Structure 1
Amino acid sequence: MIISNYTSKLFKKIILFSLFCVLSTNAQQLQRIGFVDIEYVLDKIPSYADAQKKLNTETSTWKQNLDKMYLKLDTMKKEFLNEKPLLTEDLIKERETEITTYENEITKAENTYFGVEGKLFELRKQLVTPYQDLVYNAVQTIAKLRKYDMIFEKSSSIVMLYTNNNYDISELVLRYIQKSQKEIEQEEAAIKREEAKLAREKRIQEQRKKREEALKKREEERKKR
């Protein structure tokens, strides 16, 4: 029996999800796990919606410009094919050069708009990335404050066929973002104090371990004598 591509993919996802559940059941005895829907959080920030709207408007304009260029290129090619039997060899080469030159202009325009470091990349970095960083930093702070071991992103490539809302910290992240700068600074200061406390405890444990090892060594030497 031949299994369809969709069925095969779904089967793999179910297997992966089952494995994830087994691992999570064991891990939750020792680890604290949560997940966040970043798209949900971003959509709840009014200024982010404005930034995304501006980005979409600019993107639509660039696409329209490219569509016009492709339409003009298509017209140039059709006219050339219709007139080619009547043209001299020199005129044929000239028209071919014109078409190639215009194709290069289109490629250049595409790279300018949507290239690796094109206008879309720069505008997204200017308008959208700050909000994404804001959410990311909020998740990092909450994870440290609430002692989370792992926080997953709900809309990522990780298979999440079922989620228990008890582990959803999306609202928590949103409330954190909406706090005043003073409250955020206070929470970050609390994190630093906690980290300093843990560092001190670690140093004390290491020193205690060294003393115990030194005492043990002296005791062993005493017994030998």
Structure 2
Amino acid sequence: MVSSYFARFKHVTPKRVSDFILEQLEEAIILKDVLPEEQLPPERELATLFKASRLAVREAIAELEEKGLIERRLGAKGGTFVLPLTAKTHQRTKQQIAENWARMKEMLEYRSIIEPEAARLAAARITTEQLAHIRELVEKSSGEDCTREMFRSLDVKFHLEIAHASGNSYIESAVRRVRTNINPGLDLMPYNRQTQLSSCELHHVLLEALDARDGDKASETMKAHVNKTLSALSQFVE
């Protein structure tokens, strides 16, 4: 008798080369590895980097443009430039987030498990250089002149740096995946001085826990931080 387990296998779906290129470029933009107003390499160079055809690169670029993540400019100083993620926020409506809320909620719940443990490990393994970098990120994100886009950028870097400091590549990869999936929702959240300082306050507490090598406090603070985001996004969408 054939085991009923085989019925649970997922269907195979075809994936184009351009999809692989799109995923990597989109992640780099969302996670601020490529910053707003930074110019992407020409199609020819990207094709060489990805070892793919220019047609595949062109298709990926077209999808990025459709999503409002990049802009192609003409003229002597033309090229393909990364747009601030919040610049096209009006194109991503609350309804769009609500339609994908079940999946995003699962991702946020997953985050509430992964990131506290990343913080616990980071408290034990973080280097002096990493700690100094995180402190710099916290200080910059607290400034009165910190714009919405800059704050989002610094916030992503803050969480990714802690994941990196955990010294566990699987945890770091998981945190990158989570941030790539939840950032479109976070971009829709209201931003003002009060929300900025509220987030920075928890960042400061977390920073001091890392500095004190207090794994329990680092984990508890991170859990409170990510759960606060889950609650705020739930209220916004539901």
The interval holding the TM-score normalised by the smaller chain is under 0.3
TM-score under structure 1 length normalisation: 0.26
State which structure, 1 or 2, has the greater radius of gyration over its C-alpha atoms.
Answer: 1
Higher share of residues assigned helix: 1
